[in-house]
Amino acid sequence: MERHRLVCRACGATAHVDQVPGVAAHLDPADAAGYRVETAVVVFRGLCAACSRAGAAGHRLPEASAH
């Protein structure tokens, strides 16, 4: 089962999530590019719960370091 990551764009917090069986979360680029894909990583970027609450309350959000 592939693992995907959630990454907070403000504080850099990460969480791992499993792919939902039967749901395609990524495209298959192998045919078009001639690659044999062995593994895939999907990264969802957004705001974690704490940063979402802070932003909604009007607080300045931290800036995550470049990843």
Q: What is the DSSP string of 4-66?
A: EEEEETTT--EEEEEPPTT---S---HHHHT-------EEEEE--HHHHHHHHTTPPPP-PPP
57 pLDDT above the threshold of 70: yes
* pTM, two decimal places: 0.61
The sign of the CA dihedral 50, 44, 60, 11 is: positive
Q: 64 pLDDT band (50/70/90 cuts)?
A: low
**Spatial separation of the C-alpha atoms in residues 6 and 43, rounded to whole Å:** 6
Q: Tens digits of per-residue pLDDT, 15-52?
A: 988 766 555 555 556 566 777 777 777 888 999 999 99
67 pLDDT above the threshold of 60: no
Residue 18 confidence (pLDDT): 73
